[in-house]
């Protein structure tokens, strides 16, 4: 179990980083400066087209498929301990900690859900929507709203980065690592996946760098809160009685 002081320290640092990140990208032109690297002003288009099929297949549709596949797997594992006896996962008569499975499943669902709810609430345009990059929207931020003379036909949702949230949500898988090294490797790989997707969306003009950093930090905070919350609800992991299970299996054999 995470020690209380360690949890509080981690949560404080992550929230501090989130606040600092939001403020930094709000008061500096960093997002616009980075985005200009990927926009060809002469062609009035992004250096990588969003219509490139193989990139969209791998980094958009492919990642979504992997994410939903992982969610389904953990939903099945959480519904019944019997599913954990698949030889591809664990040897016979071995089970995953059901509490950890629930932490992973809830995190996988909550991270993208929270990010997408925020996207709907912020009503901030994507880089490709801005007049600076060939669109029709003014550049606004959380602290600077739309001009009075701007007529918005419909709400827009681009902040924070939604698609990368699926990759960052997979950082919750780190809780299944048996050692700290294994946990770090899993979290690093999931974070890398989130950034691969995030950078792709930045290059095609769908998100700013700041959008993606905020999503990553939100994912970390949510996973930490879910882990702590579920552990507090149950001081003893919900696992099957291995002894009685083994006896039933032997009797069946």
Convert the pLDDT of each residue in 20-66 to its tens digit. Answer: 999 999 999 999 999 999 999 888 899 998 888 888 888 888 888 99
Between 59 and 3, residue with greater pLDDT: 59
Q: Is 40 among the domain residues?
A: yes
Task: Specify the higher pLDDT residue, 122 or 241.
Answer: 122
What does the alpha-carbon distance between residue 96 and residue 190 come to, in Å, rounded to a whole number? Answer: 20
In a domain, 245, yes or no: no
What is the model's pLDDT at position 53? 87
Alpha-carbon distance of 10 to 228, in angstroms, equals 11
Judge contact between 70 and 108, C-beta under 8 A: yes
* Cβ neighbours of residue 228 closer than 8 Å, sequence gap 6 or more: 2, 7, 11
Residue 247 lies in a domain: no
Residue 143 lies in a domain: yes
The answer to whether residue 251 is domain-embedded is no
Amino acid 161: pLDDT: 95
In a domain, 16, yes or no: yes
* pLDDT confidence of residue 88: 42
Task: Provide the residue range defining the domain that includes 210.
Answer: 4-238
**What is the tally of structural domains in the chain?**
1
β-bridge mates for residue 39, sequence order:
46
**pLDDT given at position 2:** 54
Domain contains 250:
no
Do the Cβ atoms of 139 and 32 come closer than 8 Å? yes
Mean pLDDT computed over 65-71: 92
Q: Cα–Cα distances in Å, from 203 out to 30, 65, 137, 157?
A: 15, 22, 19, 18
CB neighbours of 193 closer than 8 A, spacing ≥ 6? 63, 167, 170
Which range among 65-69, 78-82, 112-116 shows the weakest confidence by mean pLDDT? 78-82
Rounded Cα distance, 124 and 217, in Å: 19
Q: At 238, is the pLDDT very low, low, confident or very high (cuts 50, 70, 90)?
A: very low
Q: Who has greater pLDDT, 61 or 86?
A: 61
User: Do the domain assignments include residue 105?
Assistant: yes
**162 DSSP assignment:** S
């Amino acid at each position: 179990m995470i020690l209380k002081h360690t949890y509080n320290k981690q949560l404080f640092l992550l929230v501090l980083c989130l606040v600092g990140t939001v403020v930094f990208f709000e008061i500096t032109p960093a997002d616009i400066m980075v985005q200009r690297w990927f926009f060809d002003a002469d062609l009035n288009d992004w250096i990588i087209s969003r219509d490139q099929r193989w990139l969209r297949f791998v980094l958009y549709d492919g990642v979504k498929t992997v994410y939903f596949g992982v969610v389904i797997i953990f939903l099945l594992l959480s519904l019944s301990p019997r599913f954990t006896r698949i030889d591809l996962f664990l040897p016979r008569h071995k089970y995953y900690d059901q509490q950890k499975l629930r932490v992973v499943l809830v995190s996988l669902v909550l991270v993208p859900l929270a990010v997408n709810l925020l996207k709907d609430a912020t009503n901030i345009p994507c880089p490709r929507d801005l007049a600076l990059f060939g669109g029709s929207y003014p550049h606004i931020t959380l602290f600077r709203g739309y001009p009075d003379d701007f007529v918005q036909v419909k709400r827009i949702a681009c902040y924070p980065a939604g698609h990368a949230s699926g990759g960052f949500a997979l950082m919750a898988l780190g809780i299944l690592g048996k050692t700290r090294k294994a946990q770090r490797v899993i979290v690093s790989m999931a974070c890398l996946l989130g950034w691969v997707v995030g950078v792709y969306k930045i290059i095609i003009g769908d998100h700013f760098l700041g959008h993606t950093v905020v999503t990553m930090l939100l994912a970390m905070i949510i996973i930490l809160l879910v882990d702590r919350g579920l552990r507090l609800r149950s001081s003893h992991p919900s696992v099957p009685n291995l002894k009685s299970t083994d006896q039933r299996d032997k009797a069946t054999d």
